[in-house]
C-alpha cells in the first residue's frame, strides 16, 4: 500500500516527520537503510511470517516487486514523500536502484532469522495454507 507523507516546509527547505502508530501503522522496532547498490543488482528475495515494513526512498529511486502468492505488483519509489507498507507474507524484491538511491526501511520487529521465508516455493506453500 502506497502512502504519502505530509511535507512541512518553507523557503529554507522541506521536512517530513514520521511517528510510530500515527504515520506508520506499527511500533518501529528496527530501522535500516540500503545504499551503494551496484548496477543491475536485485535484493530482497524473501517474505516474513510476522514482520511488517515501511519502505521509503529518501534519495533516488528503486522498484519493488510485491508478490502475495496470487498476484504480483511492481511499485516505483522515487520520492521521500512516498512510503510503501509491506505486510507479512508478501514476497519482495528490490531492483533498478538509481546510483544515488538510499532506501530506508522501518520494521515492526527486531531482527529474527526465524521470521524469514527465503525459499520461494516454501513461501507459495505457506500462502496456500493461509
Residues serving a catalytic function are 46
Side-chain-side CA neighbours of 32 within 13 Å: the count stands at 8
The string of DSSP codes covering 1-63 is -EEEPPPEEETTEEE----BTTTBSS---EEEEEE-PPTT--EEEEEESS--EEEEEEES-EE
The Cα–Cα gap between 7 and 57 comes to 15
Those residues whose C-beta lies under 8 Å from the C-beta of residue 94, and which sit 6 or more positions away, are 34, 42, 43, 44, 55, 62, 63, 64, 65, 103
Amino acid at each position: 500500500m502506497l502512502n504519502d507523507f505530509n511535507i512541512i516546509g518553507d523557503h529554507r527547505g522541506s521536512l517530513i516527520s514520521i511517528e510510530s502508530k500515527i504515520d506508520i501503522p506499527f511500533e518501529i522496532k528496527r530501522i535500516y537503510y540500503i545504499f551503494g547498490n551496484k548496477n543491475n543488482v536485485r535484493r530482497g528475495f524473501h517474505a516474513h511470517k510476522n514482520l511488517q515494513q515501511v519502505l521509503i526512498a529518501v534519495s533516488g529511486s528503486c522498484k519493488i516487486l510485491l508478490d502475495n502468492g496470487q498476484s504480483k505488483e511492481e511499485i516505483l519509489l522515487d520520492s521521500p514523500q512516498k512510503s510503501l507498507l509491506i505486510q507479512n507474507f508478501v514476497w519482495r524484491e528490490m531492483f533498478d536502484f538509481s546510483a544515488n538511491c538510499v532506501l530506508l526501511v522501518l520494521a515492526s520487529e527486531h531482527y529474527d532469522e526465524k521470521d524469514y521465508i527465503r525459499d520461494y516455493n516454501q513461501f507459495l506453500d505457506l500462502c496456500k495454507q493461509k
